Amino acid sequence: MSEEGSQTASRTSRRLQAKPLTASRAARMIAEFTFVITIAGGSFAWLIDRDDFPTLGTGLWWAIQTVTTVGYGDVTPTHPEGRVIATIVMLAGIGFLAVITASITAAFVEAARERLKGDEEDRLLEQLRRIEARLEKLEGKGGAED
């Protein structure tokens, strides 16, 4: 690995260690990764396979269709190199959709947990008030007998 590559890896690992990985950070990271893969995939497809992707715009259009799993079929790679690029772009798209779905689900679960936590705290406080009132009554009866 080059010195520049190791510095970038080190910087990335420091950044990951500095803050805990949350659902929203994971979603943002996978979105950035997917964006880069989409642009790179469309560009490489155009550079490598000019028969199937005659313009950069065609390559980018194909990459966007592929990463979003739409796949109209109007542009498809026929050469092995293009299919390898397609595989990478497809996997990035599937990963993106999975992480986004998980992030949204995590947000809903956390919101429900917070609501339930508040309800549970209210219920426990009410129980404690009733127990305290009963204790005061018992202490009052006991104090009268002494």
| pLDDT tens string 88-117 | 999 999 988 888 888 888 888 888 888 777
Q: pLDDT tens across 30-67, in order?
A: 889 999 999 999 999 999 999 999 999 999 999 999 99
Q: Give the tokens for residue 114.
A: 């917070």
* Percent over 90 (pLDDT), the chain: 38
Mean pLDDT of the chain: 84
Q: What is the mean pLDDT of residues 61-77?
A: 90
CA angle 29, 32, 38 (to 5 degrees): 140
Q: Output phi, psi for 19, to 5 deg.
A: -125, 140
Instruction: Tell me the pLDDT band of 80, cut-offs 50, 70 and 90.
Output: very high
pLDDT of res. 108? 86
Structure tokens at 21: 């990985």
pLDDT of residue 3: 59
15 versus 140: which is more confidently predicted? 140
The confidence band for 146, taking pLDDT boundaries of 50, 70 and 90, is very low
Give which of 23, 19, 31 is closest to 105, Cα–Cα: 23
Amino acid, single-letter form, for residue 38: T
- Give the CATH number of domain 3-106: 1.10.287.70
Nearest to 101 by CA among 48, 30, 32, 10: 30
Give the residue with greater pLDDT, 71 vs 43: 43
Domain spans in the chain, listed from the N-terminal domain onward: 3-106
Burial (CB < 10 A; 0-12, 13-18, 19+), residue 90, is middle
107 Cβ partners below 8 Å, 6+ apart?
23, 24
Residue type, 60: L
